[in-house]
Structure 1
Amino acid sequence: MTRNPAFSAILGRSLEQDGGYRVVSFAGAETLTTFLRIAPVDVVVLDSDVPEAPAIDLARGLRGNHKLATRAFEIVALTRTAAAFHKPLLVAGIDAVLEKPVTPQQLLECIDGLVEVERVAAVQQQSVTRVRSRELGPVPAGRVGNVIPLFGEGRTQR
Structure 2
Amino acid sequence: MSEVLREIGSIARALDGISNLEFKELDLTKGQYLYLVRIQENPGIIPEHLAQLLRVDASTCSRALQKLTKQGFIEKHQLAHNKKSQILYVTAKGQEAADFIQRENRYSEKQALAGLTKDEVATLTGFLQHIRENIDKDWQLVKKGQHREY
TM range (shorter): under 0.3
- Under a length normalisation based on structure 1, what TM-score does the superposition of the two structures give? 0.25
Length-normalised TM-score, structure 2: 0.26
Which has the larger strand fraction? Answer: 1
